[in-house]
Amino acid sequence: MENSLTENQYINLDQLLPGDILTFKGNPKDVLSGLIMKLTNGSDVSHGAIFVQKKDFVLAESGESGIHAHMMKMCTEGGSEVYVLRHKDAGTEGILPATDVAKQYVLRDLPYPFSDLVFLGLILLFKNNAKKNLLSRAVVDLMCLVAAELKTRIEEKKGPGFHTLVCSSYVYQCYLEAAEKQPNLKLEVKNGDIGYGEHRLLFRNAEPSNTLLDLFEDYVKQDNGEFKNRFFARRKLKQAKKLRPVEDVLKDLDLELSVKCEENLPMLNSIDWEIVKDFIDAVGDIVEAVSSLINDHDDLTLEEMIENARKQQAMFITPNDLRYHLTNANYIGMLRVTRDGSDYDQNFKTET
């Protein structure tokens, strides 16, 4: 739901209910946080979490060390400014089915499933009204890094209940799983950051595509089998592509977003077609990696991989979506808090 950035009514921690959605203001001076905000309509948020317990004021979140729980304390200076949203169907006890899911993820002791780099890459390529040259070298390099990172993380740990979840995806997934028994709990997103507006991949399809997967599927259908042949040939070879350091790619991307902001997406026929090919290959690698979360059989068709990737909807939810694009959650105010440095995870283990 849309809310004005001027809404700054502060509330206290004791006013929170389990299941409340927390979105943290980002730090423009931090490259990663700044990029997340730039790539999501100049948003002021770059992180999401879910409030799970009134006792000790506990939140659960996905961060660089994995999915963990932390206590929060109010503060008057420093700390983090946090927007709070509440599901419209929350009762006096909050949304306990969602917090139950959140706690179970904490108890699984999952590693950070894939880096913030993956999150950034997906936001960029699902960005509505994209500025700049979509197929710039920095964007393509970022996508290649995304694909490699996904594959590595998935190979490191797979098993029952394993999900690749960054901060906002984690919050959305908790509600999505709770909705399996109570459908009204699913978080509804309108005009989210995955929207792709009127852009057409290679300007081949007659109708505009709405998501990266739509664009990719359009391309696969219209290239007369050329991409499919290349995709499965590369899959058999399994040769690692030499990648640039993450830090260099992020700096280049930040620079591209900081200059010539008035430049619209150019006609793609002026682009080096090798970059186009690299871009499509990188998207294909991501589709394959994401699909393997559901089914990692080697005999899947490309169409089946795309369909599997579509089922991983939580991956494509951004902090900006949680703050501004939910239609069934109400904004209730702001907090200024600090986190306790230690994990609260063990406390959940003693409760079970």
Q: Domain ranges in the chain?
A: 1-110+169-188+319-352, 114-162+194-317
Distance from the first to the final alpha carbon of the chain: 36
3-state secondary structure of 91: strand
> Whole-angstrom Cα distance, residue 119 to residue 11?
30
Nearest by Cα to 221 from 235, 207, 204, 233: 204
- What length is written for the chain? 352
pLDDT above 80 for 347: yes
pLDDT value at residue 258: 67
Q: Region of 183 please: left (phi>0), alpha (psi -120 to 50) or beta.
A: alpha
pLDDT value at residue 15: 96
pLDDT value at residue 57: 96
Record: fold of 1-110+169-188+319-352: endopeptidase fold (from Nostoc punctiforme) (3.90.1720)
Quick one: pLDDT band at residue 84, thresholds 50, 70, 90?
Answer: very high
Token duo for residue 343: 């994990």
pLDDT above 80 for 182: yes
Q: CB–CB of 95/185 below 8 Å?
A: yes
Token duo for residue 342: 């230690």
pLDDT above 70 for 72: yes
pLDDT above 50 for 120: yes
Helices 116-125, 246-258: inter-axial angle, 10-degree rounding: 40
**C-alpha distance from residue 79 to each of 7, 25, 229, 336, 337 (Å):** 19, 10, 52, 6, 5
- Rounded average pLDDT over 303-326: 83
Quick one: pLDDT band at residue 230, thresholds 50, 70, 90?
Answer: confident
pLDDT value at residue 183: 96
Count CB atoms within 10 A of the CB of residue 149.
22
Lowest-pLDDT choice from 4-13, 51-60, 82-91, 327-336: 4-13
pLDDT above 80 for 262: no
Lowest-pLDDT choice from 47-51, 76-80, 131-135: 131-135
Lowest-pLDDT choice from 5-14, 87-96, 203-212, 329-338: 203-212
> Whole-angstrom Cα distance, residue 233 to residue 225?
12
Its pTM stands at 0.73
